[in-house]
Copies of this chain bind each other. A is one copy, B any other.
Amino acid sequence: MRQADQDGYIFYPGLTAFPTTLGHEFSGKVVEAGALAINKRTGKRYEAGEAVCSEEMVWCGNCRPCADGFPNHCESLEEIGFTIDGAYARYLKVKARYLWSIEPLREIYGEEKMWQLGSLVEPTSVAYNAVIERGGGIRAGQNVLILGGGPVGAAACAVLRKSGASRVILSEPSASRREMALTMGATHVIDPTAVNVAEAVLDITEGQGAKLILEATGLPSIVWPDVERVIWEGRGINTTVVVVARADDRIPLNGEVLQVRRANVVGAQGHSGHGTFPNVISAMASGMDVSPMITKKISLDEADENCVMLQTDRDEVKITITKFD
């Protein structure tokens, strides 16, 4: 959002309603709770002190997609930090239904890391929604391929390794991101600028290919030949390709590949609904530590300069504001 396009307008193409306070992907402490503010962890009213994180998608609960159980496709969506006030602030008012307790993380990680992991529940949920809810997950022992080692790709490595993937292969040009992914759950990393991705995947999997492929680069037309070759030449059938990164370009899809290899392509967006937030928190509580995604910690007054820096830097993954003074 800090970035300008050629004409000087805001580059970010999504929904905004400025002026609003920015800030999403956050955790915090409940200070006050209304009489109807139910803590979904306990089924009782929130008490002050509860550590929580928040969905960023303020779904309406009334439209057809919401009524049918698909809040990620809400027709009257508001977004915290985009269309309504966000978390670059000391206090924030959020309806209880968008909050999820992160207390299960306190004992295993300690308070400081609990807050950091809490801020990562949302991006991890984007990955979880993509590969588990939309991609249908995997069965223990199957192989997966992640294209792109940004926050969603890295979190997908963690989620799929936790879900029992035998080989979690990440393709990512940045060396530092590849390193980071290996600490998150990737079992193999590939530099697509140095090797042929399809050949590397077929080699690593001994010719089997991948049951699930996540497109998280935003360059689908670039990576598609590799995607199709892995499907076509891999001996396994039933591959699901999940497209999670947003992109304008057209994917040159060969239907015959989907037919002969019994494959399919799925689109994914959002992080709400389907039990995703609480499942992610619970997975974190049992050892899925995605904190390596936070590559830099700053204070609130350093936010602006870091936003500027991010326009050119491709190595940092998550820059997290941990101090508000």
Contact = CB atoms under 8 A, between A and B. Distances in A.
Interface of A: 36, 38, 40-43, 61-70, 72-73, 75-76, 95-97, 104, 128, 132, 134, 137, 139-143, 159, 162-167, 187, 206-207, 215, 220, 235-238, 243-248, 250-269, 273-275, 278-286, 288
Q: Report the 9 A-B pairs with minimum CB-CB distance, sorted nearest first.
A: A258-B267, A69-B69, A141-B282, A141-B283, A259-B267, A141-B279, A166-B286, A243-B255, A251-B253
Contact of A162 (B140, B259, B267): B140
A243 B284 CA distance: 30
B250 A283 contact: no
Contacts of A206: 41, 104
Contacts of A67: 40, 97, 273
B40 A63 contact: yes
A118 to B, nearest CB: 15
B246 A286 contact: no
Stoichiometry, copies per complex: 4
Nearest to A95: B62
Contacts of A139: 132, 137, 163, 275, 279
| Most chain B CB within a 10 A radius of its CB, from A43, A72, A140, A206 | A140
Contacts of A63: 38, 40, 43
A220 to B, nearest CB: 5
B243 A259 contact: yes
A273 B68 contact: yes
Nearest to A272: B67
A140 B159 contact: yes
A260 B265 contact: no
Given A40-B63, A267-B263, A275 B140 contact: no
Contacts of A159: 140
B278 A267 contact: no
A69 B251 contact: no
A70 B238 contact: yes
20 contacts: A40-B64, A43-B63, A62-B96, A62-B97, A64-B235, A72-B262, A139-B163, A139-B275, A140-B159, A141-B162, A141-B282, A166-B286, A246-B255, A247-B255, A250-B254, A256-B267, A260-B267, A263-B267, A264-B264, A265-B265
Given A64-B278, A65-B237, 14 more contacts: A43-B63, A67-B273, A69-B69, A140-B162, A141-B280, A141-B281, A142-B279, A164-B164, A246-B255, A246-B256, A246-B259, A247-B256, A248-B256, A262-B267
